[in-house]
Amino acid sequence: MKRRRMPDMHESGVNVTPLIDIVMVLIVFFMLVAKIGVSRGEDADIPLPSAILGKSMDSLSNTLTLNVHWNRNGDEPVLDALVEGNKRELHVSKQYSSGSDQELARVLTDWRKAQGDKANLIIRADQDMPYRQLELVLLAAAQAEVGNISYETRQGDSSTQ
């Protein structure tokens, strides 16, 4: 009778198939969650005021984020925004008068006409800046007839507490 030897035993090593399944799930998760390449042109260096009643925005379409920097050397804020894909410095004069030709008002008007009623201006302003500088921005927004204004804040307690 022919005896058959038992085949030699080989170690197959670690089975990596479940690991690949888990990694694939993680990739799909990050692809859906991460916002890659989506930029509003926001300046992360601006210290925002804190608020507890702020809401998240479902859709950032129809929005224009205006970075309002505190100008410590004058009365006019330093402004910049991502307009039509290009980062632009915008100017607003402290010598405001209704109907005057203000670059910021002009840009906001053109933008508002393109977006329609859903146009939403996001103001990202320095928490320590004096109101007299922010006032100029609000006046330009009023001149441009922007109906929706959102004040960007960071999640947190009141700044006075």
Partner 1 sequence: MKISGAKKVHYESGPNMTPLVDVVMVILIFLMLAGNFGGETTFLMSKQGIKKSGGIGRPLKPGEVPDTPLEVRVANLDPTGNNPGFVATGTGLRPTHDIEAVKSWFAGKRAAYNKAGTANDKILVTLSPSRDVKYKYLIDVYQAAMQAGYEKIAFTTSH
CA distance 120 to 63: 5
Contacts 24+ apart (CB under 8 A), 76-81: 76/133, 76/136, 77/125, 77/129, 77/133, 77/134, 77/136, 77/137, 79/104, 79/137, 80/41, 80/43, 81/41, 81/107
CA distance 25 to 28: 5
Burial of 106 (0-12, 13-18, 19+ CB in 10 A): middle
Residue 96 binds partner 1, judged by CB under 8 A: yes
From the list 57, 89, 110, 113, which residue makes contact with partner 1 (rule: CB under 8 A)?
57
From the list 1, 2, 33, 59, which residue makes contact with partner 1 (rule: CB under 8 A)?
33
CB closer to partner 1, 114 vs 142:
142
Residue 100 binds partner 1, judged by CB under 8 A: no
| Site stretch for partner 1 (CB under 8 A), options 26-34, 78-86, 105-113 | 26-34
Q: Which of 79, 56, 47, 82 is nearest to 159 (CA)?
A: 47
Query: Are β-strands 78-83 and 86-90 bridged in parallel, bridged antiparallel, or unpaired?
Result: antiparallel
From the list 1, 44, 45, 99, which residue makes contact with partner 1 (rule: CB under 8 A)?
44
| Site stretch for partner 1 (CB under 8 A), options 16-24, 82-90, 99-107, 108-116 | 16-24
Site for partner 1 in 104-143 (CB under 8 A): 120, 122, 125-132, 134-135, 138-139, 141-142
**Contacts with partner 1, residue ranges (CB under 8 A):** 5, 7-8, 10, 12, 16-17, 19-20, 23-24, 26-27, 30-31, 33-36, 38, 44, 48-57, 96-97, 120, 122, 125-132, 134-135, 138-139, 141-142, 146-155, 158-161
